[in-house]
Amino acid sequence: MPYLRSLGLRSVELSDEFYSTMASEASKSKIQTLSMWKVSITPCRLHSILSLPRLQSLSLTDMRPVDMDDGETLTRQVTSESVDELSVDVMDVTSLWNGGLHTSCPRVKTLKLEWSKKENVSPDTITMACSPFHYLTHLHIKGFLLSSTTLNDPVSFCKAVITSCPLLTKLSITSIDLYTKKAAEIIKRMKTHPHLTNIELERCCTDTDLDPLISEVNSEGKLTVTVKHGGFLRS
């Protein structure tokens, strides 16, 4: 498939030979988008993936435990200058970062952090995940549709975002149970970010009580706030 530009791998077990072939044939690859879900990843396999010269968008969701004993040190072997969009499951951040993923994609501009189960969006997690990416301009926080993902401390959350994402121009929050009060707090505090120009909130359990603040902020001209009210119906 010499013209393949997008590849998705879901719940598949591929041999090391597959990844080594991917690396050896990388110069011929036109793959720009790669998404992986429930796939075992080792530093050696990440090395092969990041060797794809045209890869721009990489999504790693619900990955199986990273094996750190495969004889590879990712950070010494590969750096991808082409990957500018990265999506990861929050529960995998520690293992993937320990494997060197964050230092191997130094040009990431869009980072999507996904929560795959019911939990809180922690400011510490935001700081750990975002700080390595010095070119980050878009941060997307996405909750799990089928269970409640909360954000208990909007003040600390905003502080973490402002501190760890100094060049941020866009903040997107999807399917997080903010409700109107916390959403308003986030909008007001994120106004102080010197480069932020867009905030998007979607299905964050807000209602029309937020509309006056949205209109006020939008009328000021510096920041554009877009909100899709409501939430996701969960059983």
Query: 57-61 and 224-228 as β-strands: parallel, antiparallel, unpaired?
Result: unpaired
Q: What pLDDT is recorded for position 235?
A: 38
Most confident range, picked from 8-12, 59-63, 95-99, 224-228: 224-228
Structural domains of the chain in order of their starting residue, each with its CATH number: 1-83+101-107 (no CATH), 109-235 (3.80.10)
What is the chain's alpha carbon radius of gyration, rounded to the nearest angstrom?
Answer: 19
Residue 74: what pLDDT?
A: 45
For residue 146, what pLDDT band results from cuts at 50, 70 and 90? confident
- For the chain, helix, strand, coil in percent to 5 are 35, 20, 45
Tracing tokens 């130094």 back to the chain, one arrives at 106
% of the chain beyond a pLDDT of 70: 92
The three-point CA angle 56-31-71 to 5° equals 80
- Asked whether the beta carbons of 78 and 51 are under 8 A apart, the reply is yes
Place of tokens 């510490």: 124
In sequence order, the β-bridge partners of residue 171 are 139, 199
Q: Examine the pLDDT at 116 and tell me if it is beyond 90.
A: no
